[in-house]
């Protein structure tokens, strides 16, 4: 077993999977934020136009 002599490969793989997980979470959170932002903005503009 040479895994003990090369721990950097396991650490790099763990960091890679962790960073990909973080990037996917950022994409999901960012998309949700922008979707809610657009929905709120459109509802606000619609209510402003309806009140006039």
The CA–CA distances, whole Å, from 29 to 3, 19, 22, 25, 39 equal 36, 15, 10, 6, 15
Per the structure, the count of domains in the chain is 1
pLDDT at 18: 94
Percent of the chain with pLDDT over 70: 90
CA-closest candidate to residue 25, choices 41, 10, 45, 17: 17
pLDDT at 2: 54
Domain of 51, in residue numbers = 1-52
CA–centroid distance for 33 within its chain: 10
pLDDT at 1: 53
Which tens digits make up the pLDDT trace of 16-41? 999 999 999 999 999 999 999 999 99
């Amino acid at each position: 077993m040479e895994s003990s002599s090369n721990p950097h490969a396991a650490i790099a793989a763990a960091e890679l999977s962790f960073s990909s997980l973080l990037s996917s979470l950022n994409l999901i959170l960012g998309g949700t934020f922008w979707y809610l932002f657009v929905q709120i903005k459109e509802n606000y503009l619609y209510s402003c136009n309806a009140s006039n």
